[in-house]
Every structure is written in C-alpha cells, then in structure tokens.
Structure 1
Amino acid sequence: GTLERGVAICGSGVGASICANKIPGVRAGLIRDHFSAGQGVEDDHMNVICIGGRTVGSSVAWDLVQAFLAAEFSHAPRHLRRLSKVARLETQPTRANV
C-alpha cells in the first residue's frame, strides 16, 4: 500500500534521513524544532519527519510529530516550482549516480 506521511527515528536522526531519502517519492527532513516541522511540509512538501532519539526528548519529539501532522502543503506557485525541481532531480542522472 501507500502512505501519505511517515516518522523515522534513529539515534541522531541522520541515518534515518539518509535512508528515507533513498526511497522514491520520499521527501524526508531531519527535524529538531517546531518551526521546521511545519514549514518543511508547508513549503517543501516533506512527507517523512526524521527525529534523533538521542538528541530530542520524548515530549519534544511528540510535539514535533504533532506539528508535522497538522501542517499542510501550501500549493503556492513558488512551492510547486520547488517541488517540480526536486522531482527532476529524482529522474535526471547526476555525477553521483552515472
């Protein structure tokens, strides 16, 4: 099946972010603050939040996930253009994957 959003947690959140972003269609962000939890969805259509279990306390992590889930993508023209650029990066060869 398919999911709209996800949460990935590891010690620092970095490994979870790296792995999640290898999955086609995933736009994961390492999040440590409330502003970025919402803004990542609103501006960049982030669909996976990555959190460091050793860097963020459980109550803060809960609040970050709640902010992430409450946010909605803005569909503003500049954000749609940005999302289109990201989609092109996923399909065009780069030096790293040629």
Structure 2
Amino acid sequence: MSKPTVALAADHAGFELKNLLRDELKAQGYDVLDLGTNSSDSVDYPDFGRKLAETVAAGKAARGVAVCGTGIGISIAANRIPGCRAALVHDITSARLCREHNDANVLALGARLIGVETARDCLKAFLETPFAGGRHSGRVAKLGQPA
C-alpha cells in the first residue's frame, strides 16, 4: 500500500529543515511535493504558506509541512486558505493532538526554535495520528464556517 502524498514548503529560514524532512519522507516511502523554496536566499513566507495550503486544500496532497524561522508567519499565511488547518507545534504532544483533536492537515514548524530530532518526532506523530472524530467533529466543522 502506498503512503499518501505530503507537500512541503518553507521560506529561507526553513530551507534546510524542509530538505531534511523531505529526504526523511522519501526514505519512508512517501510521495513528496516540494513546493520550495530551493535555496537559503531571502523569500517571503506568505507566498510559500499560501502555495502549500492551496495544494493541500485542493487535495493534491493529503498533508503538508510548512517551515519558517518560527513557524508563526507561515502558519498564519496557510490558515488564510479555506480548507487548510495548519497547526504550529513544538513537541510530540502538540503534533499528536493537532491531528487527534483538530484534524490538522498542515504541520507548521519553526526551524530556529526546535531541533532536528524534535522536528522528526513531530512529523512522525503528525503523520501517524488519526483524527479521533466524535465530539471533535462538530468543532472542526465550525473551523470552516465564516465568523
């Protein structure tokens, strides 16, 4: 059975971590869409957050991983796209719960704030944890409604 497609995007600050996670995903048998950036030259995180969110929301990838310096900016940009539920996480517990309770479809990481091993652990938890449904389903449905 093939694994789902995972899209990745990062700004210049997240470039190295994105590449490391991309290689890890490929080694584990995931299909990967690398949406850039492709160097450490300065770029604007909103452009990459939007591109990633649109890709996931359109169903071209089952999940996404967004990386910038703190993870904050790129997650804000991604969450502006309907159908995207980006969660900024800093540890395994938040990575697991963003899937279990919030059905997050984009994992956001801050390359300047967490180490490589923590990022790998977060990615693993994010990809392996199913949405619990149940009482959480109605709450998640409200995330797609206008305020």
Q: TM (normalized to structure 2)? A: 0.58
Shift of 1:87: 1.6
Structure with more relative contact order (C-alpha pairs < 8 Å, separation 6 or more): 1
Unaligned regions of 5+ residues in structure 1, if any?
none
Runs of 4+ with >3 A deviation: none
1:80 aligns with 2:137: yes
Give the 5 Å matches for 1:1-98: 2-76=60-134, 78-88=135-145, 92=146, 94=147
Query: 1:61, CA displacement in angstroms?
Result: 0.5
Q: Structure 2: which amino acid aligns with 1:60?
A: T
Long gaps (5+) in structure 2? 1-58
Taking structure 1 as the reference length, the TM-score comes to 0.85
Percentage of pairs with the same residue? 43
Aligned length in residues: 89
The AA in structure 1 aligned to 2:127 is L
- Compute the displacement of 1:59 (Å): 1.1
Secondary structure at 1:44's aligned position in 2? coil
| Map of 2:45 onto structure 1 | none
Query: CA offsets per residue over residues 2-23 of structure 1, 9 Å max, x none?
Result: 2111000000000111111112
- Secondary structure of residue in 1 paired with 2:130: coil
Q: Is the Cα contact below 8 Å between 2:82 and 2:144 reproduced in 1? A: no
